[in-house]
Amino acid sequence: MKRALFPGSFDPLTLGHYDIIKRGVTLFDEIIVAIGVNADKKYMFSLDQRKTFIEDAFAHEPKVKVVTYKGLTVDFCKEIGVEFILRGLRNPADFEFEKAIAHTNRKLAKVETVFLLTEAKTSYISSSIVREVIRYNGDYTKLVPDNVRVK
């Protein structure tokens, strides 16, 4: 069974993330959306909210599982027996950053990174942009799945 880990902070889940996961399930038998926990990072949404956003968005997709983890992504892959990491690329800067991480991960473990290009219509969306729109009371609903709402 081909399983891929899609790691991130998902603060919050965006339409770009959603697109990569939806397309990833056509390539893999299971997509494990892994929310990384970093005690030093200040999040807008709680871990429980972020997990719920993803679970609700994929409630009818049995091939998507949502978990949380701490530490190196590659160590978590080894721990749960996953050989693929799925990553989305929006632009050349993403590629350069992700390429270095992919090479490092392959050096540390037998883990292959698979890149999917985001759709053009979501390539400008990032979680940090969504958070900024939310902070200034903008219409963030055009950037996230329907179930992602600020309360």
Active-site pick, 90, 99, 106, 131: 90
The answer to whether 74 and 108 have CB atoms below 8 angstroms apart is yes
**Each residue of 6-48: pLDDT tens digit?**
999 999 999 999 999 999 999 999 999 999 998 788 999 999 9
Active-site pick, 17, 50, 51, 87: 17
- 41 is a catalytic site residue: yes
Can you list the domains of the chain with their CATH numbers?
3-142 (3.40.50.620)
The answer to whether 25 and 64 have CB atoms below 8 angstroms apart is yes
- Does the pLDDT of residue 103 top 80, yes or no? yes
List Cα–Cα distances, 98 to 24, 94, 113, in angstroms. Answer: 17, 6, 9
- 107 is a catalytic site residue: no
The answer to whether 127 and 11 have CB atoms below 8 angstroms apart is yes
**Each residue of 38-90: pLDDT tens digit?**
878 899 999 999 999 999 999 999 999 999 999 999 999 999 999 999 999 99
- 50 is a catalytic site residue: no
pTM comes to 0.95
- 131 is a catalytic site residue: no
Question: Can the peptide bond before residue 12 be classed as cis, meaning omega within 30 degrees of 0?
Answer: yes
